[in-house]
Structure 1
Amino acid sequence: MRAVAFMVGSATMFACMAAVIRLASEQLHPFEIAFFRNLFGMAFALPLLFRHGWGLLRTDKLHLYATRCVIGMLGMLCGFSAIVYLPLAQAVTLSYSTPLFVTIGAVLVLGEVVRARRWTAVAVGFLGVLLIVRPGTEGFSAMSLVAVVAAVLSAAVAISIKMLSRTEKPDAIVLYTTLFWVPMSLVPALFVWVWPTGWTWLWIVGAGFFGTMGHMFWTRALKMGEASLLTPISFVQVPIVAFIGWALFDETVGLWTGLGAAVIFASNAYIAHREAQLARRTTTDPDMPPAAGGATAEQPALPESPPRPPARS
């Protein structure tokens, strides 16, 4: 239940972050908003260092942190651009195709075995993505492909987060991420730099606050529970963002976006349900002893490195 509460909190924080990003975009380029989100995010994360002490930064996984942050930075730039140039509900809904890419990545990268039913759920999920993107029609926008790229990169980040969470503290993951992201995001921001004025300062400070809080809640949720079970819960972000888009930006959720969101949600929910079934089977079936490292019948035990991936975004 604590993991569920943290995931709902994370979804709410990320929805609010999307809103202030859109508000800030009236003056600033998405790349510059990303820099300020990371700068102020670091400011909100630094108290973690005073709370835990310098020992929080002690790690032998610095290379994994760096790789995770490079991928995450590219995903952030794509994701922020999608939030600015697409309707909010459409941009956020496409981000929930991440679990589909996580499943594929688990097979290609980690050698996991995925059976027919989950492959079917993945295929159905991609049908939902196609309903939203609608390639070859008048409703197609190239920016929707940028949102899909952000989902792919988010899948890689989700895998690395779960790998790190096996040995690293959630607060260390948050702090290291912000420390890496500030200089990484400054470089592209310099090419589009405009000094913010007026209310824009409030929006970019809010982006840092909501983004950092969402990240904190997310890492804690993944630490406490299986991401495959938490993914459908995080979908609460979609109706929150749809309401914000309607209330602040006079946006409505189109028919195709609504249908695509329903299909993607159903696909994610089934994948999570299947994961839960397999997890229960390995612990209750005397003829199917649980594998090391929490592996399931569909996901055989792997060596200590790398561990099983999550399924979020």
Structure 2
Amino acid sequence: MTSNDTKRGVLLMVATTMVFSAQDAVSRHLAENYNVYMVVMIRYWFFAAFVMTLASRQAGGLRNAAKTVQPLVQAFRGVLLTAEIMVMVTAFVYLGLVESHAVFACYPLLIAALSGPVLGEHVGWRRWAAIAVGFVGVMIILQPDHGVFSPFAAIPLAAALMFALYGLLTRYVARRDTAATSFFWTGTVGSVLATAIGVFHWQGMSGPDWVWMAVLCVTGAGGHFLLIKTYEAAEASAVQPFAYLQLPFAAGIGLLVFDETLRPNVAIGALIIVAAGLFTLARARKKTLKA
């Protein structure tokens, strides 16, 4: 059941971002030593089991959770999220947590920019201005004129675009399907795709790394469970700005654990992106309240 306890919702969102940041750190560790596709495949096996367990405990069980009138869109959502995770974990290996998350933070701006063509929503000039400012921040991070990242710069940007499309399609299917149905399709379709790719890249893992894999699986499922509880506790528009805390949490882990560096242009660009993103969220909430 949903409620309207904003304080509880904010605390749950903060906890969610902390768990997801830890998950990203473990993903980076494992992907540096093993094939990315295998790591994502095992993670999805646990995620699918978690999703199916939740669905089986709901009224109507698995059959009711799987019922949808838009299976192709639901399946495409699952494919998008799986591909986004694979691409983002690859970014952690090549760019680290700090710079990957600094670029990935632009995904709310991409959602705002694409909400018109995908969902038919109106985007006013103020939000378009914020989107433009946000992408100035992306350019400051990437410094294309200096060739800082070369082709690697496109990796987290591609992940942000895929995650934005996933978010928009989640809104789209929510018009006719329940959240439980969308969650079920996300986990099951993702598991099938991850297995179809990852099974050809199997590698033996050491005992300690199997422990880290278990941690990855638990944090993945735990993070999604916390996110569900977050949106049950409070309105999405009230808690969504706090999702940006994943950027400093992940950056802190990158700096302290992986000895990454925070270059001035990355810090400045990330601040611009977050400020622009928060403005677009505020405008969207104001528009919703007016409606």
In the superposition, the TM-score normalised over structure 1's length comes to: 0.82
Q: Residue 42 of structure 1 is aligned with which of 41, 48, 71?
A: 48
Q: Residue 257 of structure 1 is aligned with which of 243, 261, 266?
A: 266
TM-superposed deviation, 1:247: 2.3
Moved more, 24-33 or 121-130: 24-33
| Equivalent residues in 2 for 1:21-60, closer than 5 Å | 21-52=27-58, 53-54=61-62, 55-60=64-69
Name the SS of the counterpart of 1:86 in structure 2: helix
Matched AA of 1:233 = F
Show structure 1 runs of 5+ residues with no match: 283-289, 291-313
2:25 is aligned to: 19
Is the counterpart of residue 95 in structure 1 residue 104 in structure 2? Answer: yes
CA distance change for structure 1 residues 227 and 90 in 2, over 3 Å: closer, same or farther?
farther
Matched AA of 1:81 = T
1:195 is aligned to: 204
Q: Which has the higher contact order (CA 8 A, sep 6+)?
A: 2
1:145 is aligned to: 154
| Equivalent residues in 2 for 1:156-195, closer than 5 Å | 156-195=165-204
CA distance change for structure 1 residues 230 and 144 in 2, over 3 Å: closer, same or farther?
farther
1:111 is aligned to: 120
TM-superposed deviation, 1:190: 3.5
Moved more, 7-16 or 76-85: 7-16
TM-superposed deviation, 1:33: 1.2
- Say if 2:106 and 2:274, in contact at 8 Å, map to a contact too: no
Moved more, 244-253 or 226-235: 226-235
Partners of 2:224 and 2:88 lie apart in 1 by 15
Query: How many corresponding residue pairs?
Result: 282
Show structure 2 runs of 5+ residues with no match: 1-5
- Say if 1:97 and 1:264, in contact at 8 Å, map to a contact too: yes
TM-superposed deviation, 1:155: 0.6
CA distance change for structure 1 residues 192 and 78 in 2, over 3 Å: closer, same or farther?
same
Moved more, 4-13 or 63-72: 4-13
Matched AA of 2:74 = Y
Q: Residue 75 of structure 1 is aligned with which of 75, 84, 99?
A: 84
Partners of 1:146 and 1:230 lie apart in 2 by 28
Partners of 1:207 and 1:24 lie apart in 2 by 9
* Percent sequence identity over aligned pairs: 27
Partners of 1:179 and 1:11 lie apart in 2 by 23
Is the counterpart of residue 273 in structure 1 residue 279 in structure 2? Answer: no
